[in-house]
């Protein structure tokens, strides 16, 4: 069986050989200073680390969404090309390439015309 538990240094009763005791005002001063330091650290953490964590999380979520969207776009384009090749043109891949090229040319012309409209408005 273990002996009696002795208090730690600085917390013993008067006359205890564990060490000197701290008086009330000195203990309050130390507690207040510790609380002030802890509050300062919390403020610095809230103003520096928390925004950095939010930005890092947003970047990771954005990269994950971007990778998923690109993967889905590639798989969708391949699937549509195979579907068109098998159903519409009877396994003639050159026809699929011509249709896909025509779609990309039309999309490029649309983007170019929108860009030209914006550029002409900016120069007026």
For the chain, domain boundaries: 28-87, 91-124
State how far the Cα of 55 lies from the Cα of 52, in Å rounded to an integer: 5
The stretches in the chain having pLDDT less than 50 are 1, 12-13, 15-17, 19
Q: Supply the pLDDT for residue 118.
A: 81
The candidate with the shortest Cα–Cα distance to 13, out of 5, 4, 21, 25, is 21
Q: Are 37 and 44 in contact (CB under 8 A)?
A: no
Q: Are 70 and 85 in contact (CB under 8 A)?
A: no
Q: Supply the pLDDT for residue 90.
A: 80
Q: Supply the pLDDT for residue 84.
A: 86
Q: How many other C-beta atoms lie within 10 A of the C-beta of residue 96? A: 19
pTM of the model: 0.51
Q: Supply the pLDDT for residue 28.
A: 86
Q: Supply the pLDDT for residue 5.
A: 54
Q: Supply the pLDDT for residue 20.
A: 54
Place of tokens 């208090």: 7
Q: Are 37 and 25 in contact (CB under 8 A)?
A: no
Terminus-to-terminus CA distance in the chain, angstroms?
Answer: 95
């Amino acid at each position: 069986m273990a002996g009696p538990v002795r208090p730690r240094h600085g917390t013993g009763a008067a006359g205890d050989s564990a060490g000197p005791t701290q008086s009330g005002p000195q203990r309050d001063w130390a507690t207040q200073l510790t609380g002030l330091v802890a509050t300062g650290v919390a403020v610095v953490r809230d103003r520096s680390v928390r925004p950095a964590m939010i930005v890092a999380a947003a970047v990771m979520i954005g990269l994950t969404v971007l990778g998923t969207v690109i993967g889905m776009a590639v798989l969708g384009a391949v699937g549509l090309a195979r579907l068109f090749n098998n159903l519409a043109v009877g396994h003639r891949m050159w026809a699929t390439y011509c249709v896909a090229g025509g779609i990309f040319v039309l999309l490029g012309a649309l983007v170019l015309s929108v860009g030209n409209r914006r550029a002409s408005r900016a120069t007026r």
